[in-house]
Amino acid sequence: MDDLYREVIIEHYKNPGYRGHLEPHDIQFQDSNPLCGDQIEITLRTDESGKVTDARFDGHGCAISQASADLLIESIIGKPLDEVKQLNKEYILDMLGIDLGPVRLKCALLSLKVLKAGVYGLGEASDSLVE
Amino acid sequence: MTLNISEIRKDFPIFQRETRPGVPLVYLDSTATSQKPLAVIDAMDQFYRRSNANIHRGVHTLAEEATAMYEQARVKIAKFINAPSAHQIIYTRNTTESINLVAYSWGRANLKAGDLVILTEMEHHSNLVPWQILQAERGIELDFIPVTEDGLLDLDAYRSLLLRSPKLVSFAHMSNVLGTINPAAEIIRLAHEAGAVTLVDAAQSVPHLKVDVQALDADFLAFSAHKMCGPTGIGALYGKMDLLEKMPPFLGGGDMIKEVHLRSFRPNTLPYKFEAGTPAIAEAVGFGAAVEYLSSLGMDAIAAHEHEITEYALERLEEVPGVKVLGPSAQKKGGVAAFTLDGVHPHDVAQILDKEGIAVRAGHHCAQPLHEKFGLPATSRASFYLYNTKDEVDLLVNGIYKVKEFFG
């Protein structure tokens, strides 16, 4: 249980490095978790080769949702979009370094869901994006 | 009469377990669902061990026993809310289904485009969405009694709404977030003066207060067994006889008919007209045992105990810097304390409290519009029932201090 709030999570929650909103941006998407009201917006800039040159997240929610958003954004800058499209649940859990029950898993995966919906240019973020 | 809480706790087998080894269970989530006393668990167990059969029409011994038990439970439930007749108690799955039954059956027979239905801003989603569905289908209008800053219904605004001749006023007797106990008798009296029918969402009141449908003069009243020491999967709708008799059936199928031909049917009498298909029989038996259990302790004594706990909890919570409890003072509310803690998301509060063995709920508690009104995405909610103690309130407060330490 103490593991759930590992230092890395608390640190990224309290002092996120990538909180903000990019203007202008090439990709923007936002969604919320209806169960707890967690909300995440992601904005990205990309270059001609389809590489992420900068990214930010904004929103509010629990430590798990906000920390995983910060970690995710930090990790995708410099990555090609094609690679971002392949990111999955395990990628997030590896970064967080914890195991999560079904309820908190939704918190952890919200940012990835939002990111992938934006990168794929979907109208709606679906859970199947992160399974 | 004061309750002996340590004796009452022995009635609930779940309190013998620990949340985790060495960490006692502090269950503060009864507003979501209550724990079950042995009397209820045993009644259902005995039903399956000794009397299980499908009800009605069967002539064999078990079928007759099962039918009698199913119907005796209905009589107990009717008596519990002082319904004039057990025929006015319709078994449903839960409060939500009871409200949907009224929306689908009474609503479709009585509401047309432009008709006004008055709800309140503190409703549970179960008393919002069925009417929104009807609004989309029929073009009825919805309006809402506003909630004041301190979590009460604005009755002056209600009086103005009534000038628009609503057809129905449907409201929560007690808010599952604010804990506010609404002045149901007055709301109903004013609705009747304006010619409106009333539906009371009593999911949170029937488990905790003495509710008398005749004293309230309620037209419909909906509640669930699982929040009042009974099993999940069963609830009830009370309705006035003349209204229920005129209503068309809700679901079609077996048991709700008198006769069926290939192209037509004649509906059964009350309450069976609304009970299609094999119902939750063991659950009905458990429901009956639950009201018997609560009656044996006395609803006034239960309400007095909860009031004492709630008063203490509000006092203790408000002394914690950064904690803000929603809703009115203890005088005007039941055993619910939804709160926010500055700088910490409710999910994180609930998760760290769980580490201490304390079960509270975090989220919008199926009352998203109310949270929007107060500008909150979510809250943590502790709720109290007959088995909770002041010691548990102390554990909650200590737990919140630990949360603050953690995120401080």
On whether residue B347 sits in a domain, the answer given is: yes
Query: Which of A105-114, B114-123, B168-177 is least confident?
Result: A105-114
Residue among B63, B142, B257, B366 flagged as catalytic: B366
Residue B403, pLDDT above cutoff 90: yes
If you measure CA to CA, which chain A residue comes closest to B353?
A1
Whether B364 sits inside 8 A of A5 (CB atoms) is no
- Kindly state whether residues B238 and B270 are assigned to the same domain: yes
Domain membership of residue B381 (yes or no) is yes
**B212-268 confidence digits (pLDDT tens):** 999 999 999 999 999 999 999 999 999 999 999 999 999 999 888 889 999 999 999
Last residue of one domain, picked from the residues B296, B319, B346: B296
Whether the ω angle into residue A80 lies within 30 degrees of 0, i.e. cis, is no
Question: What ranges in B240-385 are assigned the alpha helix state H?
Answer: 241-246, 281-297, 299-318, 346-355, 368-373
Q: Are residues B358 and B284 in the same domain?
A: no
What is the tens place of the pLDDT at every residue in A32-58? Answer: 887 777 889 999 999 999 999 999 999
Nearest to B230 by CA among B371, B92, B86: B92
What's the pLDDT band for A2 if we cut at 50, 70, 90? low
Q: Let me know: does B240 contact B255? Beta carbons within 8 Å.
A: no
Co-location of B255 and B354 in the same domain? no
Give the pLDDT mean for B124-134.
98
Residue B35 lies in a domain: no
The predicted-structure confidence for B346-389, as pLDDT tens digits, reads as follows 999 999 999 999 999 998 899 999 999 999 989 999 999 999 99
* A104, A3 Cβ separation under 8 angstroms: no
Number of domains, chain B? 2
Q: Do B18 and B48 sit in the same domain of this protein? A: no
Burial class, B319, CB count within 10 angstroms (exposed 0-12 / middle 13-18 / buried 19+): exposed
CB-neighbour burial class of residue B50 (10 A; exposed 0-12, middle 13-18, buried 19+)? exposed
pLDDT beyond 90 at B336: yes
What pLDDT is recorded for position A34? Answer: 74
Residue B155 class from Cβ within 10 Å (0-12 exposed, 13-18 middle, 19+ buried)? middle
In a domain, B36, yes or no: no
Query: Among positive and negative, which fits the CA dihedral B272, B274, B275, B280?
Result: negative
Cα B361–Cα B128–Cα B209 angle in degrees, nearest 5: 60
Which CATH number do you get for residue B228?
Answer: 3.40.640.10
Q: Are residues B131 and B155 in the same domain?
A: yes
- Residue A1 has a pLDDT of 45
pLDDT at residue A8, as a whole number = 85
Average pLDDT, integer, range A61-70: 93
Flag the least confident range among A32-41, A44-53, B16-25, B107-116. A32-41
**3 state DSSP class of B202:** coil
Confidence of residue B396 (pLDDT cuts 50, 70, 90): very high
**pLDDT grade, residue A6 (50/70/90)?**
confident
- At B186, list the tokens: 């007055």
Domain boundaries of chain A, sorted by first residue: 2-120
State the CB neighbour count (10 A cutoff) for residue B325. 23
- Evaluate if residue B314 carries a pLDDT over 90: yes
B157 lies in some domain? yes
- The alpha-carbon gap from B311 to the nearest alpha carbon of chain A, in Å, equals 28
CA distance B182 to B178: 11
How much of chain B, in percent, has pLDDT values that exceed 70?
A: 100
| CA A42-A43-A48 angle, 5° bins | 135
pLDDT exceeds 70 at position B205:
yes
Judge if B184 and B266 occupy the same domain.
Answer: yes
Same domain, B208 and B303: no
Helix (H) or strand (E) holding B123: none
CATH class given for the domain over A2-120:
alpha beta
Q: What is the mean pLDDT of residues B185-213?
A: 98
Contacts of residue A113, Cβ cutoff 8 Å, sequence gap at least 6: A31, A125, A126, A127, A129, A130
Residue B191 belongs to what domain range? 41-296
CA B325 and chain centroid, separation? 21
Which chain A residues are within 8 Å of B351, Cβ to Cβ? 4-5, 62, 104
Residue B56 has pLDDT above 70, yes or no: yes
Residue B366 known to be catalytic: yes
Residues 6 or more apart in contact with residue B129 via CB below 8 angstroms: none
pLDDT of A7 strictly over 60? yes
Under DSSP, is residue B391 helix (H, G, I), strand (E, B) or coil? helix
**E-assigned strand segments in B104-201:** 116-120, 141-145, 168-172, 197-201
Confidence check on the interface: ipTM exceeds 0.90, yes or no: no
Q: Are residues B164 and B56 in the same domain?
A: yes
In this complex, is the C-beta atom of A70 within 8 Å of any C-beta atom belonging to chain B?
A: no
Considering the domain architecture, whether residues B237 and B337 belong to the same structural domain is answered as no
Contact criterion met (CB below 8 Å) for B115 and B167: yes
Could you say which of B279, B296, B313 is where a domain stops?
B296
> Do B72 and B202 have their domain in common?
yes
pLDDT at position B85 over 80: yes
The answer on pLDDT for B96 being more than 70 is: yes
Same domain, B82 and B210: yes
B98 shares a domain with B19: no
The A residues from 25 to 44 touching B (CB cutoff 8 Å) are 35-39
